[in-house]
Every structure is written in C-alpha cells, then in structure tokens.
Amino acid sequence: MSDKLHIDYAQYHHLIDRVVDAVKNSGFQPDCVLGVSRGGLFLADGLSRSLRKPMAVIAASSYRGGEGTSQGELQISASIASVGPVSGKVLLVDDLADTGHTLKALCEYLRTICPTITEMKTAVVWVKPGSVFKPDFAAEYLESDVWIVQPFETRDFL
C-alpha cells in the first residue's frame, strides 16, 4: 500500500456533505452524533451541526508506530465525553472503515456501556474494499486499499 490519496479541504467538505445528505435522505433522525476521535471528529461535527443534534466523543485507536500507520490492538476510552446521556438513536461516526474491526468493536462496546441506546447507525467518509463492517452511510466506497491523507493530517507527514 504505497499509494497515497491526498484529500484537500474542499474535497473533504464535499464528501462530508454527501454523508450529511445520505443521512437526511434516509429519514434517520439520531438523538446524538457520537464521533470517534481523532479521524471521525470533522465528519461528526458536520453531521452534528447539519442535523442540529448534540455531539459526543469517544476515543478509539488501533494505529501505532512512528507514523501511526501500523495497526495493532484496539484501545477504547473508558468514558464518553458528552454533555448529555448517549441514549436513544445514536449515529456513530468515524472517518473510514479500513478493516472494519474498530467500528464493529465500538458498536458492541457501546451497546454494553450504554444500554439505553435503542438504535445505532454508522457513518464514515470512506469504506475500503477489505472492510468486514459495512457502515449505514458513506460518501465513497474505494476500489483499492490506498492510504488516505486527510487535509488535517498534513502535520503527520512533516
């Protein structure tokens, strides 16, 4: 996977709009948008503002190493940052479904720690071809396993 797909802010905002439109057109009205830190925060913010719903944040990471490009064991924060309860209909948001293991594990974990969730849907910007998890909403389904450099990640490669 040596190829890199560089996304600029204009492209990124267009992709966010595609996810927002997909959620709105589906009729799903979440009570809360739950963003996965770090990558899912831009999309979660866009959805939270467009849907006029509160945003909460959970931290999860499986990427390690000097450049944060090697995947290891998934770590999930013990708590959720939120001004209200994470309950009812929840939209779980991350930047991409790479292998899909993070989103799958987060869905299972959230149902355990937030038993008042009645419905959960997921949204991402990208879905890679090898993902074992298929999100409910996505802007793009990639045909190859390209490394995506998002506009806010430019500092990662200095």
- Per-residue pLDDT of 98-130, as tens digits, reads 999 999 999 999 999 999 999 999 999 999 999
Looking at 24-80, which runs of residues are DSSP E strands?
32-37, 55-64, 70-76
Indicate if the pLDDT at residue 47 is higher than 50.
yes
Higher pLDDT, residue 93 or 157: 93
Give the whole-angstrom CA distance, residue 138 versus residue 23. 9
Instruction: Give the DSSP H or E segment for 3.
Output: none
> pLDDT value at position 78?
85
Local structure of 101: helix, strand or coil: helix
| pTM exceeding 0.75 | yes
Contact residues for 78 (Cβ-Cβ < 8 A; gap 6+): none
Percent of the chain with pLDDT over 70: 89
> pLDDT value at position 38?
86
What confidence category does residue 46 fall into, taking pLDDT thresholds of 50, 70 and 90? Answer: very high
Q: Tell me the CA distances in angstroms from 150 to 39, 82, 103, 132, one per residue in order.
A: 9, 25, 19, 22
Domains with residue ranges and CATH for the chain: 4-58+83-157 (3.40.50.2020)
* Least confident piece of the model among 48-52, 78-82, 128-132: 78-82
What confidence category does residue 154 fall into, taking pLDDT thresholds of 50, 70 and 90? Answer: low
Indicate if the pLDDT at residue 71 is higher than 70.
no
Indicate if the pLDDT at residue 30 is higher than 60.
yes
Higher pLDDT, residue 91 or 3: 91
> pLDDT value at position 1?
45
